[in-house]
Amino acid sequence: MDIEYNAEERAFRDEVRAFLRDNLPADVAEKVKQYKRLTPEEMVHWHRVLGEKGWLAMHWPEEYGGPGWSPVQKHIFEEEAAEAGSPRLLPFGINMVAPVIIKFGTQAQKDYYLPRILRTDDWWAQGYSEPGAGSDLASLKTRAERQGDHYIVNGQKTWTTLGQHANMIFCLVRTDPTVKKQEGISFLLIDMNSPGVTVRPLITLDGEREVNEVFFDDVKVPVDNLVGEENKGWTCAKYLLTFERTGIAGVGISKAALAHLKTIARETVVRGTPLIEQPAFAERLAELEVELMAVEMTNLRVVAAAEAGGVPGAESSFLKIMGTEVRQKISDLYREAAGPYALPFIDESEPAVGPEFANVAAPTYFNLRKLSIFGGSNEIQKNIISKAILGL
């Protein structure tokens, strides 16, 4: 048993660190660490930097442009990138639609879309959830009817993350309403500039526009944009849900968040004493540290199993629950650290009221409630664990 990285893995970590030091814009990293909003340009820029280096599509097979990393190397990269304050990669193109295209797409689809994704030519969005289809995704109603060499799409998707910037969306649509609900679904790629597509903002409780509703009104989609077979879209959806989820715990993100919180706790002096020297606060920080250590080592155990050839299955549900819970708890303590100055609700463009970090604390806390809701709610993850691991 050895819980340390070997020499080769350490060398790889040094290479990643050096790359991040030389290529990650310092102002962007600072914004990420302070929970500040990035512009679409800043996000795209980072994707392109990684794309040029060949590190963007780390889960892809090498023949399509993946870097050929082992599970441990992927883990090291994700963790180092998060700790350094790299912008979060938009998963919709690289980690969601691309694996489906690689597995189920035609040669023409691969030749067209994959290089575009590697170059970040398109901004992809996900069209899964609908107002009536959340946890029960298969009950989706958006309808696609075949007319000659087109589908005519009608319906509504919701919770479309950053859909306001997207030009492409992959959707689960119903192509056969007469069969069992999982069997009449297809996986369709839709150009968001097509006539009949409307994107409407949904404002979240922290005042942000992060999610949208997308409406389809007689949208014409070429039959060539169908991925996989008609009515076999549920297979694509399920494949996607099990695809490479070792990064789902977000350990690097939590480590960066906890490090930031410690800096704040050292710098924030209340009643003459830094927060970090106040026993009640220090104890809660230490408790979080323990929680995070547990998630980190659990994550490493799953990574090691993957390295040995195992395929992470329901274990990724453990990681999703543990990882999101610890991130939410860190944001809760962050809010507490702000004290009364958690109250002012100040736009980032205005000067802060009280300490610089404080005004972002409560919005961040509320925003991160989403972590236990999206990507398969934590309740759904528990159902998976009950069934797949416990056999209940």
- To the nearest whole angstrom, how small is the minimum distance from the Cβ of residue 386 to other proteins? 9
Question: Based on CB atoms, which residue is closest to other proteins, 149 or 350?
Answer: 350
Q: Which is nearer to other proteins, 314 or 373 (CB)?
A: 373
Task: Look up residue 77 and give its two tokens.
Answer: 């990269």
Shortest distance, CB of residue 387 to other proteins, whole angstroms?
Answer: 13
Q: Give the sign of the dihedral formed by CA 194, CA 156, CA 129, CA 182.
A: negative
Contact in structure between 165 and 181 (CB atoms under 8 Å): no
Give Cβ neighbours of residue 255 (< 8 Å, ≥ 6 apart).
79, 82, 83, 292, 296
CB closer to other proteins out of 351 and 391: 351
Cβ nearer to other proteins, comparing 29 with 133:
133
- In the complex, what is the shortest distance from the CB of residue 15 to other proteins, in angstroms, rounded to a whole number? 39
What value, to the nearest 5°, has the Cα angle with vertex 26 and ends 21 and 31? 130
For residues 211 and 116, what is the distance between their CA atoms, to the nearest angstrom?
24
Selection from 328, 300, 367, 324 nearest residue 79 by Cα: 300
Give whichever of 154 and 378 is closer to other proteins, judged by the CB atom. 378
Q: Is 80 a catalytic residue?
A: no
Q: How far is the CB of 30 from other proteins (least distance, A)?
A: 23
Residues of this chain that interact with other proteins (CB under 8 A) are: 129, 132, 134-136, 139, 158-159, 202-207, 211, 269-272, 280-281, 332, 336, 338-346, 353-354, 362-363, 365-366, 369-370, 372-374, 377-379, 382
Q: Shortest Cβ distance from residue 181 to other proteins (Å)?
A: 10
C-alpha torsion sign, points 172, 175, 177, 182: negative
Q: What is the DSSP string of 121-139?
A: -S-EEEE--BTTBSSSGGG
Determine which one of 80, 244, 296, 315 is catalytic: 244
Residues marked as catalytic: 244
